[in-house]
Amino acid sequence: MSQGFSLKDQIFNSDSMRELASEFEAGLPGFDANDFHQEVVSGLQGREFMERLDWIADCVEKRLAPDFPEMADQLEAAMPPALDPTLNDDDFGRFIHAVPGILAARHGLEDHRDRALNLLEEATKRFSMEFYIRPFINRWPDATFERLHDWAAHENYHVRRLVSEGTRPRLPWAKNITIDPLAPLPLLQKLHADPTRYVTRSVANHLNDISKISTDTVVAQLSGWKEEGKQRVKELDWMTRHALRTAVKAGDVGALEMLGFHADAPISVQSLSVGGKSIAIGEALMVETTLSNTGKTVAPVMVDYVLTFHRPNGRSGQKVFKLKQGKVPANGTLLLSKKHPLKGNASTFKLHPGPHNLALQVNGKIVQDIPFDLTESK
């Protein structure tokens, strides 16, 4: 029987460890590539993804000088060529090159801060150091932010991206940072007009993180950038949509207003149906609605629906789903429909028979709802 795809085995395996061994052997006289390869591969099995990174760093570390400044010199000497600086997107690098970041945080954090930050600057040109800058932000916020402000104008876009990505409040997989989540906004101010999508995507993701804390702050920041006009209109429009995606899904009126979807638009619901009063698990809702515009101009609409699910413990759950983005003609109507499967075997969200409800949300405002009963599968 197939074991399925394993990301950790795809990234950390005998072949990739052989490549890493060869890089160290080429950069460090006396480094025994075969000995390193044998040891590191023997310890991969039984370790999870991040544990494998630490194990690889352990095996490298014991073959380097114990003094961190000399260790940092060795790590830089063994680095592969920097990622292509002429590209502008999706050149993340390889996880096997995370070792300098791990060792910088282990051995440079307390007594060799500046040398460690120099090492991160070089290493992030090969693999993003977004995880490993965060301990320095927590331990030395002022000094690290001073360096980040310098890096925001760096010639290498990987270093510039690190400024935004490493300071994100909710960076996936990463340890928390203890600074005020709004403290990086001056850094984003420097980066928002960057010419590379790899950087602007990070800025937009960073703002999306902040929107979960203060959507108003994000809307104000984006509005200010629009007025400044430093970024290309098309790129800033993309950044705005990407930065506000969570707020839009939550129906935040300010976010929707910024995207041109007005809560006070003269929209009414002529009809709303879900395909019946009783739907069985395994069947599908047939969501259909007709919207009417009584105004004299076209009305852009962002239409979602909110499902309220029955739970046996009496505490209902809710999820928001996208219906459609469209435009309702002046003094006209717009018909929207969608098939929503009610899967009984979904691994992420279990359905239970009982009373349910669908609420139609137009431009962030609930305009009508319809109840239905969910029954056992047929």
pLDDT in tens, 136-152: 999 999 999 999 999 99
Residue 98, pLDDT > 90, answer: yes
Backbone angles phi, psi at 370, to 5 degrees: -145, 125
The two beta strands, 317-328 and 299-309, are: antiparallel
Measured between alpha carbons, how far is 204 from 202 in angstroms, rounded to an integer? 5
For residue 318, pLDDT beyond 70: yes
CA distance 72 to 79: 11
**In the block, which residue shows the tokens 């018909």?**
335
**Percent over 70 (pLDDT), the chain:** 98
pLDDT of residue 249: 86
Give residue-wise pLDDT tens across range 151-206.
999 999 999 999 999 999 999 989 999 999 999 999 999 999 999 999 999 999 99
Token digits of residue 363: 């431009």
Helix axes 215-228 and 197-211, enclosed angle (nearest 10): 140
Q: What is the three-class DSSP state of 275?
A: coil
Place 349 in a pLDDT band, splitting at 50, 70 and 90. Answer: confident
What pLDDT does residue 160 have? Answer: 97
Determine the angle formed by the axes of helices 157-165 and 141-151, rounding to 10 degrees.
140
* Residue ranges matching CATH 2.60.40.10 in the chain: 267-375
Q: Give, to the nearest 10 degrees, the angle between helix 14-27 and helix 33-42.
A: 150
Q: What is the pLDDT of residue 1?
A: 34
Question: Mean pLDDT across the stretch 226-234?
Answer: 97
Spatial strand order of the sheet with 333-341 comes to: 267-273, 284-293, 333-341
Residues 26-59: pLDDT tens digits? 999 999 999 999 999 999 999 999 999 999 999 9
Cα dist from 324 to 193, 267, 366, whole Å: 30, 15, 15
Helix, strand, or coil (residue 158): helix
Let me know: does 69 contact 119? Beta carbons within 8 Å.
Answer: no
Domain 267-375 is found in CATH 2.60.40.10: yes
| Average pLDDT estimate for 355-373 | 96
The pLDDT of residue 3 is above 60: no
5-15 pLDDT, tens digit per residue, is 689 999 999 99
Q: Looking at residue 347, what is its pLDDT? A: 67
Classified as helix, coil or strand, 167 is: coil
Q: What is the mean pLDDT of residues 340-356?
A: 86
At 17, the pLDDT band (50, 70, 90 cuts) reads very high
Confidence of residue 344 (pLDDT cuts 50, 70, 90): confident
What is the phi/psi pair of residue 334, to 5°?
-140, 125
Summary mean pLDDT of the chain: 95
Q: Which two tokens stand for residue 144?
A: 């690290």
Backbone CA torsion sign across 23, 26, 31, 36: positive
Record the tokens describing residue 189, joined without a space.
Answer: 């101010």
In the predicted model, is pLDDT for residue 4 greater than 70? no
pLDDT score of 2:
42
103-131: per-residue pLDDT in tens? Answer: 999 999 999 999 999 999 999 999 999 99
Token duo for residue 294:
């009584």
180 closest CA partner among 204, 214, 147: 214
Q: pLDDT tens, 260-290?
A: 999 999 999 999 999 999 999 999 999 999 9
* 213, 305, 321, 325, 347 from 318: Cα distances, Å: 20, 10, 10, 21, 17
- Contact assessment for residue 205 and residue 168, using Cβ atoms and an 8 Å cutoff: yes
- Quote the distance between the C-alpha of residue 91 and its chain's center: 16
**CA gap 360, 362 in Å, rounded:** 7
